[in-house]
Structure 1
C-alpha cells in the first residue's frame, strides 16, 4: 500500500493506493469526502452517508485529478460536486 500527501489549493489530501492483480485501487481523501476509482461503489458510499465522487479509467493519483467525475453521492453534490467536473475540482470542494 502506498500513502501519499497530495497538496491542493484548499488543503492537503491523502492518497491511498492498493496494488491489486491488474489495476490499482485508488482513493484520495479530503477533509469532508473522497474521490474514488472504478473499483469502489457510489451506492455503498451513499448508504453510509459519505461525500464521495467516482472517476474511472485511472491508474495514478494524477489521473484521478485530471479525470472527469462520472458519479457522486448526494452528500458530495450538497458540497457542489457534479458529474462532468474534474476530479481535482471535486476534491477542492471537499475541504
Structure 2
C-alpha cells in the first residue's frame, strides 16, 4: 500500500488526492482491484513525454502558442506523420 510506504502520518485522503492528480497528468495508471484500486507509475517514454506536454499546456497562458511553436519546428516528415495521426490514418496511433 502506498500510504504504508510513506514516512510520517500522511492522511489517506492526501495520498488519494496526489495519486488522482498524478493519474490525471498521465504519470500513473489505476485499475480496480478488489474493493480498492491498484496504482502503477507510467514507465514508457511516450507516456512520460505526453504527460510533460500536458503539464506545460495546463500551466496557463496561450494554449495555442505551445502546440503552434512545437509544430513550426517539426521536420516535414514529422509534420506529415502528425497530420496522418490527427486524421486517424496512422496505424501506430494508440
TM-score (norm 1): 0.25
Higher radius of gyration, 1 or 2: 2
Length-normalised TM-score, structure 2: 0.25
